[in-house]
């Protein structure tokens, strides 16, 4: 599926950069093939504009902020958060400005990140209840560019058959290639999947899982939010819950930015932030290595892979069916040739 060519995908919210990174000035970003500039307005609220000055098309992201408005670094033309031109320094006082405007996009903060929708959103940013629960802490694990497609990343997130092989260096057990339980129920927003798996518990995972046993069990409740968000709730017998929230933001047809946020029902003294980041980073590195070796468009183009050959393919089949239905409603679907 060529991500940039499906206009309906512009009608969802995507994670971009941590809000804190905008405190020192505007930042460029690219999503669905669109170059945008992100900045904070006078109230400290995030804003997003096309990264292109109306004057001579210079990138606004190379400019700077002035009282909550963005200044083009080429000739000083200045725009407010809605993209309206509010100053041309070369004009004498009192001269009327041209009715010029840079395209603006919806932007708001959630989970410490700036989220952007390029067109009128079909749904809101998925809610993670633990964000509002004082018994949980939020940890920003990473945001990183991957050379794969968003749908491929989502498919992998629900493919339990790869655990024993791709993750044999962390938690995977090659002698246990099948989950003990795998149920999927479709919802209005996507689907929910529930799984029980036995995992290896090496010494560097003991504070993650809350046990020193060589093996432990994960009760995994995984949710897919169309098109490219997921929430993975992993409950351990110790009572610890390790809840991962991801957003795969399409950059272009073959790359994404993957954001990962973690929620834990423990304290820093129980398991440090760095331990949690390092543990999940090792797992993510294994996924990234595998996904970047695949053809990103093959999940939709059925002529280029074998499908429905094992139960773990079912999540990808449902994703493809739901997204193709959404895209076909708009007459927009196009796969690689």
Q: What is the pLDDT of residues 157-167, one digit of tens each?
A: 998 889 999 99
- Tell the residue number behind the tokens 């479709």, with chain if given: 186
Q: Taking the domains of the chain in order of start, what are their residue ranges? A: 3-117, 129-329
Measured between alpha carbons, how far is 7 from 294 in angstroms, rounded to an integer? 25
Q: Would the pLDDT of 306 be above 80?
A: no
CATH topology of domain 3-117: Rieske Iron-sulfur Protein (2.102.10)
DSSP 129: G
Mean pLDDT, rounded, for 234-258: 97
User: Tokens at residue 65, please?
Assistant: 């902020």
pLDDT in tens, 33-69: 999 999 999 999 999 999 999 999 999 999 999 999 9
Q: Would the pLDDT of 337 be above 50?
A: no
Same fold, 3-117 and 129-329: no
Q: Collapsing DSSP states into helix, strand and coil, what is residue 109? A: strand
Mean pLDDT, rounded, for 199-213: 97
Measured between alpha carbons, how far is 105 from 120 in angstroms, rounded to an integer? 9
Q: Would the pLDDT of 85 be above 90?
A: yes
As assigned by CATH, the class of the 129-329 domain is alpha beta
Measured between alpha carbons, how far is 77 from 57 in angstroms, rounded to an integer? 11
pLDDT in tens, 128-158: 999 999 999 999 999 999 999 999 999 999 9
- Determine contact, residues 280/262, Cβ cutoff 8 Å: yes
């Amino acid at each position: 599926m060529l991500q940039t060519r499906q206009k309906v995908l512009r009608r969802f919210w995507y994670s971009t950069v941590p809000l804190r990174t905008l405190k020192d000035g505007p930042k460029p970003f690219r999503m669905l093939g669109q170059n945008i500039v992100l900045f904070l307005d006078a109230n400290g609220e995030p804003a997003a504009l096309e990264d292109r000055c109306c004057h001579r098309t210079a990138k606004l992201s190379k400019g700077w902020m002035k009282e909550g408005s963005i200044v083009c670094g080429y000739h000083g033309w200045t725009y407010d958060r809605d993209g309206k031109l509010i100053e041309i320094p070369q004009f004498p006082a009192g001269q009327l400005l041209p009715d010029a405007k840079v395209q603006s996009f919806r932007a708001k903060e959630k989970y410490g990140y700036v989220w952007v929708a390029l067109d009128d959103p079909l749904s809101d940013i998925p809610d993670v209840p633990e964000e509002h629960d004082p018994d949980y802490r939020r940890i920003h694990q990473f945001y990183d560019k991957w050379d794969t497609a968003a749908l491929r990343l989502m498919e992998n997130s629900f493919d339990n058959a790869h655990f024993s092989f791709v993750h044999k260096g962390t938690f995977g057990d090659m002698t246990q290639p099948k989950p003990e339980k795998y149920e999927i129920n479709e919802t209005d927003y996507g689907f929910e999947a529930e799984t029980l798996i036995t995992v290896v518990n090496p010494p560097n995972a003991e504070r993650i899982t809350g046990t020193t046993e060589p093996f432990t069990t994960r009760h995994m409740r995984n949710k897919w939010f169309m098109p490219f968000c997921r929430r993975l709730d992993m409950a351990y017998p110790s009572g610890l819950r390790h809840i991962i929230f991801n957003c795969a933001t399409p950059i272009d047809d073959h790359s994404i930015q993957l954001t990962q946020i973690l929620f834990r029902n423990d304290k820093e003294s129980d398991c440090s932030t760095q331990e949690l980041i390092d543990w999940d980073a090792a797992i993510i590195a294994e996924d990234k290595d595998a996904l970047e070796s695949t053809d990103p468009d093959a999940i939709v183009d059925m002529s280029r892979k074998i499908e429905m050959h094992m139960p773990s393919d079912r999540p990808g089949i449902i994703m493809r069916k739901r997204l193709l239905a959404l895209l076909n409603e708009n007459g927009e679907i196009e796969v690689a040739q």
